[in-house]
């Protein structure tokens, strides 16, 4: 039976190596998130995904819809993603506040952009177009940052608030990205969360990261998605739940990917934290 409502509990990233195990074992996952780019040239995997989507809620997270591209959206790619979306009818569609294509060339990374009136116009126009083509709300994800732009004229949170106001899009709040950016750029992660429009947040992400020491003695956190969630990210997640309430939350793990049971244990931990935060909040209100 198809579940039409995304549960507020935690889901896990479904990667190609998990497809057979999920179809055979039907693990008790609340929902799965997929990258459509992994299925567009793989009809066998797309068939398996269609079967999985009949039994689990699926969220589509595109890493190739480049809403920040100064040379325009890649409409060929957008319409290919739309075909997959039409086939599996996901409960949620998301992508990054970034650019990864330039004049038709795919770049290997999600690249940042300066927060200015000009980029606000560009991103808002692109999100309007994406939402028109897909016929559904797009969830825009905050990036992990390693360097600030001296050309930015507003903070990232002001930029996101204005994009939401102009386009009616939703936000995907990546809690780990906030921790990474706050460390690397030297701002307060909790204050960042306080500045987000809570009612627009339709999903949260949690992913593993690693700290590297620079020759200068300072440290930089790299958003590797290759290890368990860090205790500091769990703490920030608890704060985000206290601020926004529970939201569907994804455990992101994109390289050195473990067996699905490991991901499900991380998802259960996210659920337990959310329950504990809500209990605490209820207790605080009652007292
Ligand atoms: Fe993320």
* Three-state secondary structure call for residue 50: helix
- The bridge status of strand 32-34 relative to strand 58-62 is parallel
Burial class (CB in 10 A: 0-12, 13-18, 19+), 233: buried
C-alpha of residue 50 to centroid of ligand 1, in Å: 23
pLDDT at 225 over 60: yes
Instruction: Write the DSSP string, 211-272.
Output: EEE-TTS-EEEE----SPPPHHHHHHHHHHHHHH----EEEE--SS---HHHHHHHHHHHHH
Report yes or no on 38 lying in a domain: yes
User: Of 15, 39, 10, which Cα lies nearest the Cα of 255?
Assistant: 15
pLDDT reading at 1 higher than 70: no
- How far apart CA 220 and CA 68 sit, in angstroms, is 24
How does residue 110 score in pLDDT terms, banded at 50, 70 and 90? low
Q: What angle (nearest 5°) sits at the alpha carbon of residue 107, between those of residues 105 and 111?
A: 125
CA of 271 to the centre of ligand 1 (A): 18
CA of 175 to the centre of ligand 1 (A): 8
In a domain, 189, yes or no: yes
Within-domain flag for 4:
no
At 99 the pLDDT is 66
Residue 151 has pLDDT above 90, yes or no: no
pLDDT at residue number 13: 92
Residue of higher predicted confidence among 215 and 1: 215
Q: Quote the pLDDT of residue 287.
A: 65
Residues 37, 204, 182, 226, CA torsion sign: negative
Other CB atoms within 10 Å distance of the CB of residue 149: 13
Task: Measure 206 CA to ligand 1 centroid, in angstroms.
Answer: 7
Q: What are phi and psi of 27, to 5 degrees?
A: -60, 160
Q: Number of structural domains, the chain?
A: 1
pLDDT the model gives residue 188: 97
Per-residue confidence band for 281, with pLDDT thresholds at 50, 70 and 90: confident
Ligand 1 centre from 47 Cα, in Å? 25
CA of 283 to the centre of ligand 1 (A): 31
Q: Say if 1 falls within a structural domain.
A: no
CA–CA dist 148, 152 (Å, integer)? 8
Q: Indicate the angle between helix axes 231-244 and 175-185, nearest 10 degrees.
A: 120
For residue 207, report the distance from its CA to the centre of ligand 1, in Å.
Answer: 7
Q: What is the pLDDT of residue 109?
A: 53
Q: What is the 3-state secondary structure (H, E, C) of 106-174?
A: EEEEEECCCCCHHHHHHHHHHHHHHHHHHCCCEEEECCCCCCCCCCCCCCHHHHHHHHHHHHCCEEEEE
Question: What CATH number corresponds to the domain at position 214?
Answer: 3.20.20.150
Residue 104 has pLDDT above 80, yes or no: no
For residue 277, is pLDDT > 80? yes
31-69: b (≥16 Cβ within 10 Å) or e: bbbbbbbbbbeeeeebebbeebbeebbbbbbbbbbbbbb
How far is Cα 137 from Cα 112, in angstroms, rounded to an integer?
Answer: 22
What residue numbers bound the domain in which 65 lies?
A: 10-286
Give this prediction's pTM: 0.92
pLDDT at res. 283:
73
Q: What is the pLDDT, as a whole number, of residue 164? A: 98
Domain assignment present for residue 190? The answer is yes
Report pLDDT for 214.
83
Distance 42 CA to ligand 1 centre (A): 24
Task: Classify residue 165: in a domain, yes or no.
Answer: yes
In a domain, 94, yes or no: yes
CA distances 268 to 23, 234, 273, Å, are 21, 12, 9
Report CA(174)–ligand 1 centroid distance (Å): 5
Kindly give the distance from the C-alpha atom of residue 177 to the centroid of ligand 1, in angstroms, as a whole number.
7
244 occurs within a structural domain:
yes
């Amino acid at each position: 039976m198809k579940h039409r409502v995304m549960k507020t509990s935690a889901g896990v990233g479904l990667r190609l190596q998990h497809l057979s195990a999920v179809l055979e074992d039907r693990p008790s996952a609340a929902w799965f998130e997929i990258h459509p780019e992994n299925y567009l040239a793989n009809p066998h995997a797309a068939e398996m995904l269609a079967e999985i989507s009949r039994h689990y809620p699926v969220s589509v997270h595109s890493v190739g819809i480049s809403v920040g591209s100064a040379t325009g959206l890649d409409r060929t790619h957008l319409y290919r993603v739309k075909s997959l979306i039409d086939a599996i009818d996901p409960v949620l569609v998301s992508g990054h506040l970034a650019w990864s294509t330039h004049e038709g060339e795919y770049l290997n990374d999600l690249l940042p952009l300066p927060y200015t009136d000009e980029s606000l116009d560009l991103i808002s126009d692109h999100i309007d177009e994406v939402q028109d083509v897909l016929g559904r709300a797009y969830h825009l994800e905050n990036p992990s940052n390693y360097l600030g732009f001296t050309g930015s004229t507003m903070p990232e949170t002001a930029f996101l608030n204005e994009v939401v106001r102009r386009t009616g899009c939703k936000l995907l709040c990546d809690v780990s990205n906030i921790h990474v950016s706050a460390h690397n750029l030297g701002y307060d992660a909790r204050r960042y969360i306080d500045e987000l429009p809570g009612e627009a947040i339709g999903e949260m992400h949690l992913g593993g990261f690693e700290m590297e020491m620079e020759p200068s003695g300072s440290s930089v956190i790299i958003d590797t998605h290759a290890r368990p969630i860090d205790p500091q990210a769990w703490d920030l997640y608890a704060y985000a739940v206290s601020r926004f309430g529970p939201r569907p939350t994804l455990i992101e793990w994109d390289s050195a990917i473990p067996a699905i049971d490991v991901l499900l244990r991380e998802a259960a931990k996210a659920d337990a934290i959310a329950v504990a935060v809500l209990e605490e909040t209820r207790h605080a209100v009652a007292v």
